[in-house]
Amino acid sequence: MSRFSVKKVAVLGAGVMGAQIAAHLANLRVPVLLFDLPAAEGPKSGIAIKAIEGLKKLKPAPLGVPEDAALIEPANYEEHLALLKGCDLVIEAIAERMDWKTALYEKIAPFVSPHAIVASNTSGLSITEMSQALPEAIKPRFCGIHFFNPPRYMALVELINTPSTGADVLDTLEAFVTSTLGKGVIRAFDTPNFVANRVGVAGMLATMHEAEHFGLSYDVVDDLTGKKTGPRQLGHFPHGRRGGPGHHGPCDPHASRQYRRRQERGPVCRALCHAASAGQAAGSQKPGSENRCRFLQKTRPRHPATGPADHGLCAGRCQVQ
């Protein structure tokens, strides 16, 4: 197999993930075009310019050397689409909206190089459905490439093919992601949320269910699910807020049917998602009695402890009136 030579990459979307994917490419000395919508005021590429400047201030640092930000060139969809012809890899990383993604594919399709691989960084939308917006010539070179936040530090990348993806495309892309970007790759089926988020969402729902069952407050759940039980710095609810409502099954309308059924019959799942996205979960306020929310008890009566094994969790119930 011939080596996939990547001389320039286009990243579509200068949000949290898009900008940091661009930064990680720059860390490896790969030049990047960072696209976003044209700004209403100032320079047309002002949104991308602001995102690049923001990379120098983020913690943990997405750039190994701040000066490498010079390898990221700001661009916008109004003036610079023709520059896509010089890119070997195009990574779409805009918001998790199928209609926005397919509309963008229709816009960029005439400018994509005949040899370029096009990939979506979606965390769980259907790659096959997205591919329907692309012309037949691009479909064999289209796939999913799911980085995790923050891309510089998270080792895993999921690759997802469609029925139309060429047999050698994932092999070629995997070689680049592992040998150049230093990541570990797993190949996922095109199912809702793929592998990691599918497992993660199941865990999130299970945690919500147990919080409801034992009447636990936000800060108690976050205390139990943070550093005390694993390497994760954030507790359950701040972690969910960091990913954003659109990235997690309980709040994602594109999640699997099983997740949606759980959401529909679980008022607490809906209430917790709404509160988390509104900034009411622990992490937006200091833990304390004023933050020990009571609506868990309002949505369903508490279940009494069934035995000694429940004592530890029951002891953490919210007692603040």
Q: Is 146 a catalytic site residue?
A: yes
- Residues 204 and 161: their CA atoms lie apart, in Å, by 26
Q: Provide the angle, in degrees to the nearest 10, between the axes of the packed helices 196-214 and 267-277.
A: 110
Taken in order 38, 12, 105, 110, the sign of the CA dihedral is: positive
Quick check: 63 and 26 in contact, CB under 8 A? yes
Q: Which two tokens stand for residue 5?
A: 């030579």
**CA 132 vs CA 98, 140, 172: distances in Å:** 11, 11, 22
Q: Which two tokens stand for residue 157?
A: 């990348």
Burial readout 97-114 (b: 16 or more C-beta within 10 A, e: otherwise)? eeeebbebbeebeebbbe
- Residues 303 and 317: their CA atoms lie apart, in Å, by 11
> Residue type for 24, please?
H
Taken in order 237, 243, 246, 248, the sign of the CA dihedral is: negative
Enclosing H/E stretch for 217: none
24, 80, 146, 247: the active-site residue = 146
Cis preceding linkage at 66, omega within 30: no
Active site residues: 146
